[in-house]
Every structure is written in structure tokens, then in C-alpha cells.
Amino acid sequence: MATAITKVDRFSVDVPHQAGEGARVLEALAAEKVNLIAAWGYPLGDSGQARIELVPADSAALRAAARKAKIKLNKEAVSFHVVGPDKPGAVAAALRKLADAGISIHALQAVSSGSRYGCLLEVAASDVRKAAKALGL
């Protein structure tokens, strides 16, 4: 199977850094049938707050579910979702396309599962169009 690249939106939700907050947010979205491509969270220093990052398959569905659940959603950025067969250098190939176009990576998340891998690549907002072209979109 070939590598597929799509442009996706990344949102964030700030929550108290305490047990159950991630479950609360993700359960509310699941109840509304929101499909997430990716989600991750982390504490915001010693502030007592944490941030949950969300990449939905459908941004409109995420916005509607968040509104219904009274979850304050922050639009963060556009990312590129890359999925393909897992093999040595798979992520490097996408990075090379961006490097050859003179585009620096702002953030990268990658994971493999079985014979497949997926990654999210983020570039500066001013480079999104150029990156889309470099990635063949």
C-alpha cells in the first residue's frame, strides 16, 4: 500500500492537571462519535493545568461535539498526516521532501503499529502552502 498524505487541523483543550480530565474530554467526544486521528496530552509546567492536543478526522464534528459538551477548543495549527508501510526511512522520506523545499519542521509525532506507520508533521503557518506542494498535495 502506498503512502498517503492529508492536511489536517490540530486543536487543543486546556484542562486542570488532575486524574480523569483526559477521560472526561475524550469520552465526551466519543459520545458524539468524533473520530480522532491523534490525541496526546502533557502538563503545562507547574501551573496546575494540562493541554490535550486533538487531531480530528472531521474538524466540524469536533467543533460541534466540543460546543455541545462545553469544552473550550483552541485551534492551533494545520498539520500533515502521513500514513504508509512501516520501513526504515519512511518518515525520513517526507522530511527530505520538506528539507529540499527549504521548509523547517515545527513539530513531528510518529508511531508505528504492525506493518504501518503514521506521523503528523507541522510547519510554520507561513509554510503550509509550500509544504503541501512539496508533499504532493
Q: What is the three-state SS of 75-105?
A: EEEEEEEEEEECCCCHHHHHHHHHHHCCCCE
Confidence of residue 41 (pLDDT cuts 50, 70, 90): very high
C-alpha cell at 83: 500514513
Computed over every residue of the chain, the mean pLDDT equals: 94
Residue 62: Cβ-neighbour burial (10 angstroms; 0-12, 13-18, 19+): buried
C-alpha cell at 117: 506507520
Confidence of residue 2 (pLDDT cuts 50, 70, 90): confident
- Per-residue pLDDT, averaged over 102-128, amounts to 93
Show the DSSP H helices in the chain as ranges: 21-31, 59-68, 90-100, 128-134
- The whole-model pTM stands at 0.88
Asked if the domains 9-77 and 78-134 are classified in one and the same CATH topology, the answer is: yes
Each domain of the chain, given as residue ranges in start order, spans: 9-77, 78-134
Confidence of residue 1 (pLDDT cuts 50, 70, 90): low
Q: Find the range with the poorest average confidence among 41-45, 75-79, 114-118.
A: 75-79
Say what the pLDDT of residue 59 is: 95
Q: Does 9-77 carry CATH code 2.60.40.650?
A: no
Say what the pLDDT of residue 53 is: 95
- For the stretch 14-30, pLDDT in tens is 999 999 999 999 999 99
User: What is the assigned CATH class of domain 78-134?
Assistant: alpha beta
